[in-house]
Amino acid sequence: MKSLTRRNFNTLTAKGIGGAALLSSAPFACAMGNNQDKNKLGIALVGLGSYSTYQLAPALQDTQYCYLAGIVTGTPEKEQIWADKYEIPEKNIYNYQNFDDIANNEDIDVVYVVLPNSMHAEFSIRAAKAGKHVICEKPMGITVAECDAIINACKQAGVKLGMGYRLHSEPYTQQVKDYVKEKTFGDILFVSADAAYRSAGNPDQWRLNKKLSGGGALMNMGVYAVQSTIYGTGENPISVAAQEFSTRPEYFKDTDETITAQFEFPSGAVGNISTSHNFNANAMYASGTSGWFRLQPANNYGPLSGETSRGDIIKFPHESQQKLQMDDFARHVLFGEPNKAPGEMGKRDMIIVEAIYKSIAKGGETIALDFEPGYGFGG
């Protein structure tokens, strides 16, 4: 945003004030032909891999409250390609070394960290220190301590922090949350969730390298299954017990292949998840005292699909989940609207991930979890 100094603007918006009032006197120029709309938040993508290339950058061509203003890449060849494709000025292009200079760039309001998991904490913290709002991809970090460090850095800098949990912005997940909240199918007694795909590509990819990924299927896909059990019950779990299975150790040398886990919830509901890099699965199912609902698929880029015991087919018009997610975060920054996927949600999931690994290390022992009610729930 150029009409205000960035630091003033961030300070105002970090306090949840200012955006609506300021922008009401500077109406959105929605019909501008390119992305240089100064009344939208400028986003810089850090890491131009497949998610940035095929999902986030295209989605940012359709967002209403933010646009692709800059890039941060460690691959010099990508600079010109992206500059040409998205009309990104040279002054908004950074590498990992000069990234901190972004503090002086008024075009950039939000830094979106889309790097391998082990790099999320470093770049989220550097972004916060540069005075930029932060969107951090999942998983938030590779340890709970990293999640704490990111949350603290954003608090100290007075910037907003959101997770790249796109499902919280799309309507099928919202429908599930509404069913649970309104007890449409009574009290939820059981929830199951599966999030998995078969990995058979390059065995040297970072997702199979523990130093870069922090873990295998659980870190990558498991967080979706964990999340499904939480919004499928409306509660955080009070315990977890988990098991690990390995059938292709020659391929999965360093990271978990398949994990199952069982949860208990404060209401007495129980949950079961599977996550894997060895098979395909993408579903959630919840059973209550007066019926059930399911989503299948439940966690890909959509369109998702669902049905209920009443015979409803859950169907919504398809929109880019990433577009919805980034506009939700921009509205949070600009207008103080609720943060649908706050940093605490990322931290909560990492606490659960660590508990699952701990249970496996202890031969499937049940590990107690102790969250404040609603901890990490988004608005």
How many Cα atoms sit within 13 Å of 137 on the Cβ side?
Answer: 26
Per-position b or e across 148-175, b if 16+ CB within 10 A of its CB? bbbbebbeebebbbbbbbbbbbbbbbeb
The Cα angle at residue 205 between residues 201 and 211, in degrees rounded to 5: 145
- Interaction residues for ligand NAD, span 135-174 (CB under 6 A): 137-138, 164, 166
β-bridge partners, 94: 72
**Residues 308 and 251 sit within 8 Å (Cβ to Cβ):** no
Give the SS3 label for residue 365. Answer: coil
Determine if 344 is a binding residue for ligand NAD (CB under 6 A): no
**Binding string, 185-224, against ligand NAD, x = CB under 6 A?**
---------------------x-----x-------x----
The C-alpha atoms of residue 52 and residue 133 are separated, in whole angstroms, by 18
Determine if 34 is a binding residue for ligand NAD (CB under 6 A): no
Shortest distance (Å) from residue 16 CB to ligand NAD = 25
Please confirm, yes or no, whether 138 is among the known catalytic residues. yes
Shortest distance (Å) from residue 335 CB to ligand NAD = 24
Residue number with the smallest Cβ distance to ligand NAD:
49
The Cα angle at residue 59 between residues 155 and 83, in degrees rounded to 5: 90
User: Which residue in the list 86, 112, 224, 357 is annotated as catalytic?
Assistant: 224
Measured CA to CA in angstroms, residue 299 lies from 1, 166, 239, 245, 264 at distances of: 33, 9, 24, 22, 22
Determine if 49 is a binding residue for ligand NAD (CB under 6 A): yes
Question: Between 211 and 310, whose beta carbon lies closer to ligand NAD?
Answer: 211
**Residues 10 and 133 sit within 8 Å (Cβ to Cβ):** yes
Which span sits near ligand NAD by CB under 6 A: 50-58, 195-203, 310-318, 355-363? 50-58
Question: Between 86 and 292, whose beta carbon lies closer to ligand NAD?
Answer: 86
Which span sits near ligand NAD by CB under 6 A: 12-20, 44-52, 64-72, 265-273? 44-52
Question: Between 77 and 250, whose beta carbon lies closer to ligand NAD?
Answer: 77
Question: What is the binding site for ligand NAD (CB under 6 A)?
Answer: 47-52, 74-75, 114-117, 137-138, 164, 166, 206, 212, 220
Residues serving a catalytic function are 138, 224
